[in-house]
Chains A and B, each alone.
Chain A
Amino acid sequence: MSVVFKKTRGLTDTPLSYCPGCTHGIIHRLVAECLDELGILDQTIAIASVGCSVMSYEYFNCDSIQAGHGRAPAVATGAKRVHPDKIVFTYQGDGDLASIGTAEIVHAAHRGENITVIFVNNAIYGMTGGQMAPTTLVNQVTTTSPFGRDVSLQGEPIRMSELISTIPGASYVERVMAADPISVRKAKAAIKKGFERQMNKGGFSMIEILSSCNIGWGKNPSDSLKYIKNEMAAYFPLGVYKDKEKPV
């Protein structure tokens, strides 16, 4: 009997602690598979952030450094600069990257750090109990937008892929989603490209993955996936926002 599918070597055997229905599980697997398939798993340093994925260091089967909330791109800079031949990636949520960490992500992109940023955008603060995030949609109800996100008080959601793509130092920026098998396969391709960009010393890449938080959103998992496809993708259009490999 031949093996047609098995758990990737890129993940440890530790059971994931994510909520049932969460897309972090899928995205972890995609990242881990890419690292394994590209043969770079053993030379990788994963930078864990603060959010639901705070314990990603337990799941990625490589070295890891836990960063403070929002600081992962700076921590990645530190690690990558001193070990330029290793693969360094960050795994961040929308609160981490788009709220407290806006300075760090902008400047890592600005300096053209040769790292790969995995940006999991589920439009909410999951770990802390469902507060509004910078990417929370207009009128979306959260625990700190109890009457729905009000543009006049809280602004419109922030589009990070668009923003980062305007920075000269950014080399590859793409937005994908993890909403169904086809989109998950496309997400994997984008993640793989982000790591290949780093392997070729092509510069800074960020892959934004529209994801779900069924518990925080108060929806069941399948409705959550539809919400990604319909509501989220409408405001955060999928696609490649920047693709310019810098000269090595």
Chain B
Amino acid sequence: MKKIKLVCAGFGGQGILTIGQMIAMMAMQKGLAVSWIPSYGPEMRGGTANCNVVIDEQDVGSPIIADGITHLLVMNQPALDKFISKMDKDGVVIINQSLIKDPKIPSGLTLIGVDSYQIAQDVGNIKVQNMAALGCLAKALGLFNQAEGLSVIEDKFKGKDQTLVQLNQAAFSQAFNSQS
């Protein structure tokens, strides 16, 4: 498999770091090598938060992604502006359509949109927008099936209210399946 260099970015509070962690968990459960590292520098305060997730069969190598981003998930415009120039020429960009209305993407890249707000509304709670983004991302990576995502969500919310688990899973599934 080709090494996956995934960057997830958005505002602090949009659940960006969690999305990355859950992808990392899914990769680990598949027996792949994976690393997750958050940006913890000064831009964390009131700025974009981002995490780097590297997935490979054997050996992750550098946990920090300087360029050659294969998959970029952005939840808002400043995040897109920050990372778009570091994409691999065949990279995939997943945007949160609810907040990014008019993305300008260089040709050659694949653009996928997810309307996280709408999906969250459909399943009944706007707080699960990041799970919708996760669903779209998990599908776009081409590595995981729906069950693997649902299982990681189950683990994450273990011990918590079952309706919370179901809500998050619903948002995930809807996004996962609505992508062709």
Contact = CB atoms under 8 A, between A and B. Distances in A.
B2 interface: no
Interface residues of A, number: 3
Interface residues of B, number: 3
Contacts of A17: 42, 45-46
A103 interface: no
A20 B42 CA distance: 16
Interface in A10-29: 17, 19-20
Nearest to B47: A17
Interface string A103-138: 000000000000000000000000000000000000
A227 to B, nearest CB: 22
Contacts of A20: 46
A19 B46 CA distance: 8
Interface in B34-62: 42, 45-46
Nearest to A15: B46
Contacts of B45: 17, 19
Nearest to A19: B45
A17 B42 CA distance: 10
A160 B45 CA distance: 30
A244 B46 CA distance: 44
Interface of B: 42, 45-46
6 contacts: A17-B42, A17-B45, A17-B46, A19-B45, A19-B46, A20-B46
